[in-house]
Amino acid sequence: MLRLTEVSKVYDGKSQVTALSGISFSIEAGEMVAVVGPSGSGKSTLLNLMGGLDVPTAGSVEVAGRDLTKESEEARSLFRRTHVSYIFQAYHLMPTLTAAQNVALPLHLAGVARKEVDSRVAAALGTVGLSERSRHLPDELSGGERQRVAIARALVTGAPLLLADEPTGNLDTARGAEILALLRSIHDEGKATIVMVTHDPHAAAVCDRTVELRDGRLVGDHGR
Ligand SMILES: Nc1ncnc2c1ncn2[C@@H]1O[C@H](COP(=O)(O)OP(=O)(O)O)[C@@H](O)[C@H]1O
Ligand SMILES: [Mg+2]
């Protein structure tokens, strides 16, 4: 499903930062993988390369048989819309839209017909246990509920690859554990391959495999 070969990423700014160097590993369809490492070790950079949000300075990133480094920005953006969903630490919901409208957004962008949007949104909100909150604005939801809306928005497109960057980072332990259990059950129902960047030891424990970064290098890759 995903293959990185000798991937390096250097950010060229006021000073050059080597965020990743010589990273090679693969993830099979159906895996649930944690990416761990100290702050600044390159975790978010790695996730952004996997999702085609950015391209490496060297090396190749193949997702679903396509080398994203050889594609145009436009082709990558189209690819992202259908193949990859993101979940962020800070939820990234639109504050003026209801839960249901937030979840519907990627379907509207994809030009899905109105009737189908409604039924898919209802199903996704049901999966995350928020059918009763569909008309609430993000402000009217708890942090855990907001993250559930974000997960519903990630699921609604049916994208096979789910990338999560510190999905429990803004939640207390109990709420975080609920989100992790939800992601695990989504995975176990065969709905997605999941790659999750995390600081949270509980998060790594619900995954089947842990990839460890330090200073932009791969220093560990263990099964559970
Ligand atoms: N857009 C950017 N421009 C310049 N440097 C960046 C950029 N994004 C990240 N970095 C640097 O790359 C390194 C890895 O960052 P990041 O991937 O965000 O690490 P992590 O997610 O593990 O905390 C850090 O040193 C960071 O400062
Ligand atoms: Mg990060």
188, 207 Cβ separation under 8 angstroms = no
Which residue spans within the chain are E strands per DSSP?
2-12, 16-27, 32-36, 58-63, 66-67, 84-88, 161-165, 193-197, 209-214, 217-223
Q: Which of 41-45, 78-82, 130-134, 178-182 has the lowest mean pLDDT?
A: 78-82
The amino acid sitting at 50 is M
Q: Which ligand gives the minimal distance to the CA of 12?
A: 1
Chain centroid to CA 26: 16
Superfamily of domain 2-92+159-223: P-loop containing nucleotide triphosphate hydrolases (3.40.50.300)
Q: Which of 53-57, 156-160, 162-166, 187-191 has the lowest mean pLDDT?
A: 187-191
**Ligand 1 pocket residues where CB is under 6 Å:** 11, 13, 17, 19, 37, 39-45
- Domain-by-domain residue ranges, the chain? 2-92+159-223
* Best mutation site among 17, 54, 211 for ligand 1 pocket (most ligand atoms within 8 Å of CB): 17
The pTM (predicted TM-score) of the whole model is 0.94
193, 161 Cβ separation under 8 angstroms = yes
- For residue 11, what are the CA distances in angstroms to 32, 167, 180, 186, 218? 28, 25, 32, 35, 18
- Model confidence at 64, pLDDT cuts 50, 70, 90, reads confident
Q: How much is the CA Rg of the chain, to the nearest whole Å?
A: 17
Does residue 65 surpass a pLDDT of 90?
Answer: no
* C-alpha 145 to ligand 2 mean position (Å): 22
Q: Encode pLDDT of 158-173 as tens digits.
A: 999 999 999 999 999 9
The residue with greater pLDDT, 5 or 81, is: 5
The residue with greater pLDDT, 118 or 201, is: 118
Does residue 211 surpass a pLDDT of 80?
Answer: yes
